[in-house]
Amino acid sequence: MKLHDLKPNEGAKRNRKRVGRGIAAGQGKTAGRGTKGQHSRTGFGGHLYRQGGNLPFYRRLPFMRGEGFRSINRVEYNEVNVETLAKFNAGTEVTPELMAGQRMLHKNQNPVAILGNGDIKVALTVKAHRFTASAKAKIEAAGGKAEVIEI
């Protein structure tokens, strides 16, 4: 066998359709596109970004992403109010692990922020990642301590 004897397998090669080259060619006149309608016209069966009466996808995107700018470095906190800490006994050291055990946190891996809503009469040592000024004042006024944990 020589190089000039090589040829592709039977049926592996086909001639391309030459559409729109007259009636005798078999694909003349409408060139295999049928008659009338948007698919018979040029341009991929209608415009690429046309979606009927719907708001086009590229204009709908900002609504899907959510309003405005959202930082990728944003820290999401578990927010716990001072009034929910009042259920602990006096002298208890309240940590994020203890709060997670009491099912006070939404997501356990997120840091904890103590907010100042409500009143507290019990002296507690509260350890959290962040305190509001009013929460810190209420805890210390009750005779407790507010200790900040580094994230």
Q: Residue 117: which domain range?
A: 78-148
Q: Is residue 41 part of a domain?
A: no
- Is the predicted pLDDT of residue 62 greater than 80, yes or no? no
CA geometry: angle 120, 126, 131, nearest 5 deg: 85
- Is the predicted pLDDT of residue 146 greater than 90, yes or no? yes
Q: Is residue 124 part of a domain?
A: yes
Q: How much is the mean pLDDT over the chain?
A: 90
Which pLDDT tens digit goes with each residue over 73-129? 989 999 999 999 999 999 999 999 999 999 999 988 899 999 999 999 999 999 999
Q: Is residue 5 part of a domain?
A: no
Q: Is residue 92 part of a domain?
A: yes
pLDDT confidence of residue 56 = 84
Q: How confident is the model at residue 50 (pLDDT cuts 50, 70, 90)?
A: confident
- Is the predicted pLDDT of residue 5 greater than 70, yes or no? yes
Number of domains in the chain: 1
**Domain at 103, CATH number:** 3.100.10.10
Q: Is residue 97 part of a domain?
A: yes
Q: Is residue 96 part of a domain?
A: yes
Q: Is residue 46 part of a domain?
A: no
Helix (H, G, I), strand (E, B) or coil at 83: helix
- Is the predicted pLDDT of residue 63 greater than 90, yes or no? no
Q: Is residue 6 part of a domain?
A: no
CB atoms within 10 A of CB 142: 17
Overall pTM > 0.85: no
